[in-house]
A and B are shown apart, each in its own frame.
Chain A
Amino acid sequence: MSDNEVAPLETAFGVDHHVTTAEAPERPAHEGGPEMVQLLSPEGERVPNAELDALVDELSDEALRGLYRDLVLVRRFDAEATALQRQGELGLWASLLGQEAAQVGSGRAMRRQDYAFPTYREHGVAWTRGVDPVNLLGMFRGVNHGGWDPNEKNFHLYTIIIGAQTLHATGYAMGVQRDGDVGTGDERRDTAVIAYFGDGATSQGDVSEALVFAGVNNSPVVFFCQNNQWAISEPNEKQTRAPLWHRARGFGFPGIRVDGNDVLAVWAVTKQALDAARSGQGPTFVEAFTYRMGAHTTSDDPTKYRVSAEVEVWKHRDPIERYKRWLTTTGKGDADFFDAVDAEADELGTSVRERCLAMPDPQPSEMFDHVYATEHPVTAREKEWFAGYHASFEEEGAR
């Protein structure tokens, strides 16, 4: 026996881990709770908010109608993509159904020079950045792995590795700081970055590391977490014990929970966060409390793990319906306007379908292109061999 053997501490001091463990979360997972910022109730009634009302009041009726148009068009695009998948034209689709307000509201809070780092479900954000929606279909159709120029609309390629893009966003924001594009007071220069991710991603180490790096560098980045309650089949309570927006505090910056199905609240809260970032006040964590109305992707079957009653509850909180009610009761939108948007949505659906079907398959040899910025001898040699191999069949056929 060695002379440094230690007596069990719990015997000596009566420590019982189970007694000191924190209490379980006090509210059901699917309620945002009183701290959730909401400007429009599910019934479409305006909820006063001393801090945010002035911001919303600045929006013109045209801008308000624009948000509605965005919501409807984005949903229509998404529905068309789901249909295209069902008909075998896309290999997979990750629907944003139910999350339109979270994406449109946050996307429309950005300025031209801001930069967004999406997951693979940010079709609504892409829309607000001016990305051609057909570009989003390429990777799901299997003709490319992204393929758009991220710097054209300041919208990075979709990132499939969960949470990785939060670090890319933070690094980009660190670059923005080094360029001196923070806190100058110049509206066209000061730049913020927004990182999109979901509730499941918050379990990834990358996201915690991004929060660390952004915190210690006071970087101009907004962490926009769409808590859609489900990470494929795993509910929130499998990912987190504390409300997600509480997390920010441990990293030294503010966190806020907003009703993710309320486009006005999302817009106002994100705008405040982006403004703070641009002015040099550092990061903010925004938890947009929302719901994934559809499956995780078209390959998923949510009936295996969640009950329809839950989906019914969230149907009642639909982001488009409540906004339409509010526009109607306030007289900002009338039947002609709503009909025109519906017609435009149908046109969008038709054009997306046509352009999806017209999307050419890549040439086989294209897989060798762009692997390196400057030629790599192995890849170049293999490309040449591949061309010769294919040509040999053509010669055979000609004989």
Chain B
Amino acid sequence: MSTTTIAKGITSGLRAAMEKDPKVVLMGEDIGKLGGVFRVTEGLQKDFGEDRVIDTPLAEAGIMGTAIGMALRGYRPVVEIQFDGFVYPAFDHIVSQVAKLHARSLGYVKMPLVIRIPFGGGIGAVEHHSESNETYFAHTAGLRVVACSNPHDAHWMIQQAIESDDPVVFYEPKRRYWDKGEVGDGPDGALGSARVLREGTDLTLLAYGPMVKTCLQAAQAAQEEGRSLEVVDLRSLSPLDEGAILASARKTGRVVVVHEASTFLGIGAEISAMVTERAFYELEAPVLRVGGYNVPYPPSRLEEEFLPDLDRVLDAVDRSLAY
């Protein structure tokens, strides 16, 4: 057990994976000497060399396309996309190639690569640096999509993602990078599983990535008003841990899903549909969603209005409990 940050939890997870498997290579912009713009790969090039921690040309399609080739040669590339909004040039390779090669080859070819994306807002950044684009990838068959919310999961989930024989899009909550927490001795369940972070009986809050902390704060605030909220960290968006989600929904009868991404066709929409289809008679209220609006991510002076916060989560809790 040790205390570290989310960023450093990923660093130590990458280091462990690289020590264990010489085929693990890191690829990305500025990840070598600089250690990445968030310093997540700090020190790794010094220790593993330029052949394994590759400072690539500034071209996301090129990074992803060459990572595919490296994977075809038997490597396990971990690609860093510098910011969420920079992934789009690589989008074609991710959805047209990475996601499909296993099926196209009838299983002969595996694509065991990891695409790390720092995501979400709240850091006062300029345009294209604060997006939550996970739905695009979760909507693509062939990909797995996960998001960590704490140092323990950061450390262990990145290793599980690297060990996966399927491609994994690994979302990192950039505004929580420097939040501290304990790292335990092993992962909490398989990649793909959710985790109940706080038990409750009145209502279930479902969240992932940066919104987990917000939901834990909301549950604490609600407790002071005598309400018992359960908080589930989804951790995986594709697959969703349907068993854990349904179990909690059936237990409390009320569900609020929280994410930074726009609610329109977001992860919450899928969860709402899934819970309604499969636990309809156990619900006391419709599944509610709290998320971003159907607008481009706003200038940073407005981002606090865009991002779900404690009050908006509690407002949804009140609305759900009013049914």
Q: Does the CB pair B97–A168 fall under 8 Å?
A: yes
Q: Does the CB pair A373–B96 fall under 8 Å?
A: no
- Contacts A161-B97, A168-B72 known; A146 to B105 CB distance under 8 Å? yes
| Of the residues A145, A209, A377, contact of B57 by C-beta under 8 Å | A209
| Cα separation A124 to B22 with both chains bound (whole Å) | 37
Q: How far is the CB of B57 from chain A (nearest CB, A)?
A: 5
Q: Does the CB pair A178–B141 fall under 8 Å?
A: no
Q: List B contacts of A142 (CB < 8 A).
A: none
Q: List B contacts of A213 (CB < 8 A).
A: 56-57, 59, 62, 66
In the complex, B70 has a CB within 8 A of chain A:
yes
| Of the residues B59, B73, B106, contact of A175 by C-beta under 8 Å | B73
For B51, the closest partner residue in chain A by CB is A178
In the complex, B166 has a CB within 8 A of chain A:
yes
Q: How far is the CB of A379 from chain B (nearest CB, A)?
A: 7
- Contacts A157-B105, A164-B96, A209-B59 known; A372 to B65 CB distance under 8 Å? no
In the complex, B242 has a CB within 8 A of chain A:
yes
For B59, the closest partner residue in chain A by CB is A209
Within 8 A of B (CB), among A204-246: 205-206, 209-210, 212-213, 216
| Cα separation A378 to B271 with both chains bound (whole Å) | 13
Q: Does the CB pair A147–B104 fall under 8 Å?
A: yes
Q: How far is the CB of B231 from chain A (nearest CB, A)?
A: 22
Q: Does the CB pair B61–A372 fall under 8 Å?
A: no
Within 8 A of A (CB), among B258-304: none
Q: Does the CB pair B104–A146 fall under 8 Å?
A: yes
Q: List B contacts of A371 (CB < 8 A).
A: 102-103, 141-142
Q: Does the CB pair B110–A373 fall under 8 Å?
A: yes
In the complex, B68 has a CB within 8 A of chain A:
yes
| Cα separation A237 to B299 with both chains bound (whole Å) | 43
Q: Does the CB pair B108–A170 fall under 8 Å?
A: no
Contact with B along A376-387 (1 / 0, CB 8 A): 111100000000
Contact with B along A173-197 (1 / 0, CB 8 A): 1111111000000000000000000
Q: List A contacts of B70 (CB < 8 A).
A: 171-172, 174-175
In the complex, B109 has a CB within 8 A of chain A:
yes
In the complex, A151 has a CB within 8 A of chain B:
yes
Q: List A contacts of B189 (CB < 8 A).
A: none
Q: Does the CB pair A370–B72 fall under 8 Å?
A: no
| Cα separation A164 to B67 with both chains bound (whole Å) | 12
Q: Does the CB pair B109–A150 fall under 8 Å?
A: yes
- Contacts A157-B104, A178-B25, A370-B106 known; A210 to B65 CB distance under 8 Å? yes
Q: Does the CB pair A168–B92 fall under 8 Å?
A: no
Q: Does the CB pair B144–A370 fall under 8 Å?
A: no
For A382, the closest partner residue in chain B by CB is B141
In the complex, B226 has a CB within 8 A of chain A:
no
For A160, the closest partner residue in chain B by CB is B96
Q: List A contacts of B51 (CB < 8 A).
A: 177-178
Within 8 A of A (CB), among B100-141: 100-110, 112, 141
- Contacts A161-B92, A171-B72, A370-B102 known; A151 to B108 CB distance under 8 Å? yes
- Contacts A164-B93, A377-B239 known; A145 to B100 CB distance under 8 Å? yes
For B190, the closest partner residue in chain A by CB is A374
| Cα separation A147 to B52 with both chains bound (whole Å) | 31
In the complex, A144 has a CB within 8 A of chain B:
yes
Q: List A contacts of B141 (CB < 8 A).
A: 371, 376, 379
In the complex, B74 has a CB within 8 A of chain A:
yes
| Cα separation A176 to B73 with both chains bound (whole Å) | 7
Q: Does the CB pair A171–B110 fall under 8 Å?
A: no
Q: List A contacts of B144 (CB < 8 A).
A: 372, 376
- Contacts A161-B92, A213-B57 known; A170 to B104 CB distance under 8 Å? no
Q: How far is the CB of A104 from chain B (nearest CB, A)?
A: 25
Q: Does the CB pair A175–B75 fall under 8 Å?
A: yes
Q: List B contacts of A159 (CB < 8 A).
A: 97
Contact with B along A351-387 (1 / 0, CB 8 A): 0000000000000000001111110111100000000
| Of the residues B97, B105, B239, contact of A150 by C-beta under 8 Å | B105
Within 8 A of A (CB), among B27-78: 51-52, 54, 56-57, 59, 61-62, 64-75
Q: Does the CB pair A148–B105 fall under 8 Å?
A: yes
Q: How far is the CB of A322 from chain B (nearest CB, A)?
A: 36
| Cα separation A206 to B91 with both chains bound (whole Å) | 12
Q: How far is the CB of A206 from chain B (nearest CB, A)?
A: 6
| Cα separation A142 to B274 with both chains bound (whole Å) | 33
In the complex, B19 has a CB within 8 A of chain A:
no
In the complex, B165 has a CB within 8 A of chain A:
yes
Q: Does the CB pair A205–B239 fall under 8 Å?
A: no
Q: Does the CB pair B166–A374 fall under 8 Å?
A: yes
Q: List A contacts of B71 (CB < 8 A).
A: 171
Q: List B contacts of A257 (CB < 8 A).
A: none
For A362, the closest partner residue in chain B by CB is B106
Q: List B contacts of A179 (CB < 8 A).
A: 73
For A219, the closest partner residue in chain B by CB is B66
In the complex, A149 has a CB within 8 A of chain B:
yes
| Cα separation A164 to B96 with both chains bound (whole Å) | 10
Query: 5 interchain pairs (CB within 8 A)?
Result: A147-B106, A175-B72, A212-B62, A373-B110, A376-B144
Apart from the given pairs A145-B100, A216-B57, A369-B107, 15 other A-B contacts in the complex at a CB distance below 8 Å: A146-B105, A146-B106, A148-B108, A150-B72, A159-B97, A161-B96, A161-B97, A167-B66, A172-B72, A178-B25, A206-B65, A369-B103, A370-B106, A371-B141, A373-B112
CB-CB nearest 8 A-B residue pairs: A171-B69, A167-B65, A175-B73, A171-B66, A209-B62, A373-B165, A172-B69, A149-B108
